[in-house]
Amino acid sequence: MLGRALRWIRAKVVQKAERLLLRILAAGPIPKHVAFVMDGNRRYARSHQQPINQGHSEGFVALRRMLEACMRLEIRCVSAYAFAMDNFKRSPEEIEHLMDLAHDKLMEMSRHGQILEEYGVRLNVLGKTALLPERVQEVIRHVESITRNNNKAILNICIAYSSQDEITTAVNSAVRLSLDKEKSNPDNREITEHDIDAQLFTSLAGSPPLDILVRTSGVKRLSDFLLWQSSENTQIHFSKAYWPEFGLWDFVPIILDYQRKAWSQRVL
């Protein structure tokens, strides 16, 4: 009984300390757009002698935890790499679990009183959603519809996503628009970088430029995620923590580094 009470007190103290820290950080320069490559769910599960599915489930818990931290920092846009096109090569059983998990968690987030409503977050699912099971497509349409008018923040969940596919799609869209313009103005044939950028999934979803990209699990590659968006101004961080373990205390040094660089640029 005493042990339970002490754990409850400790949890409350930690919670208050974290909220105070977030308020302090929010007083400095804050990035507008942060992206996460949520890597390491399977290795986390193996390291804890858990089924792979448990690692994926805890990965969604970590996403909610980090989304709430970002909302308290008033970061306007969060993008999360949830399921790559390449992930379709995994076992049918694992893919089925991931699709069930995506369906259930999206439904959970869309319910009254949940985090999207609390913080006024509009949810976008970016990727080739036509490749997903119909039940998942249906819940995507539902949650995108009911959050359409939320205008305080944006959450992009990238499912069946590939940056190469996004860029190819953007180029094709830019070409079609250019051909339409050419009919009225034959001299206007050039496709610019801006034309392609405007047709990216993230741009069409209303996302600001990418300020920070974080990849967990110690792997140092981007894995075909937001390649176009990762410009010279994007700060890229690699964390050793597996995604289910990644939390506020892993994120704080990243925000502090962003603020340090932002302040130094202002001084210069």
pLDDT tens track for 68-117: 999 999 999 999 999 999 999 999 999 999 999 999 999 998 887 689 99
User: Residue 70 has which token pair?
Assistant: 């970002």
**In-domain check, residue 78:** yes
- The CATH number of residue 38's host domain is 3.40.1180.10
Q: What is the pLDDT of residue 142?
A: 95
Domain range enclosing 249: 30-162+210-260
For every residue of 96-162, DSSP letters joined together read HHHHHHHHHHHHHHHSTTSHHHHTTEEEEEES-GGGS-HHHHHHHHHHHHHTTT--SEEEEEEEEE-
**In-domain check, residue 235:** yes
Q: Is 208 helix (H, G, I), strand (E, B) or coil?
A: coil
Asked whether the beta carbons of 63 and 80 are under 8 A apart, the reply is yes
210-231: average pLDDT: 96
- Residue 215 burial (CB count, 10 A): 23
Summary mean pLDDT of the chain: 91
| d(C-alpha 48, C-alpha 31), whole Å | 34
pLDDT higher at 202 or 16 = 202
**In-domain check, residue 61:** yes
Kindly list the strands in the beta sheet with 212-215, ordered across the sheet, starting from the edge strand earlier in the chain: 121-126, 153-161, 77-84, 33-37, 212-215, 235-238
**In-domain check, residue 80:** yes
114-123: average pLDDT: 93
| d(C-alpha 231, C-alpha 210), whole Å | 8
34-60: average pLDDT: 96
**In-domain check, residue 150:** yes
Min mean pLDDT across 142-156, 168-182, 193-207, 229-243 is at 168-182
**In-domain check, residue 17:** no
Is the confidence at residue 21, as pLDDT, over 90?
no
Q: Which residue has the tokens 């640029």?
A: 265
DSSP secondary structure code for residue 27 in this structure: T
Q: Is 39 helix (H, G, I), strand (E, B) or coil?
A: coil
pTM confidence score: 0.91
**In-domain check, residue 136:** yes
Asked whether the beta carbons of 38 and 216 are under 8 A apart, the reply is yes
Is the confidence at residue 268, as pLDDT, over 60?
no
Would you give the distance in Å from CA 144 to the centre of its chain? 15
pLDDT tier, 186 (very low <50, low <70, confident <90, very high otherwise) = low
Q: What is the pLDDT of residue 226?
A: 98
Q: What is the pLDDT of residue 140?
A: 96
**In-domain check, residue 20:** no
Q: What is the pLDDT of residue 179?
A: 79
| d(C-alpha 166, C-alpha 249), whole Å | 33
Min mean pLDDT across 168-182, 190-204, 223-237 is at 168-182
| d(C-alpha 72, C-alpha 31), whole Å | 13
Is the confidence at residue 16, as pLDDT, over 90?
no
The count of domains in the chain is: 1
Q: What is the pLDDT of residue 101?
A: 94
| d(C-alpha 65, C-alpha 248), whole Å | 8
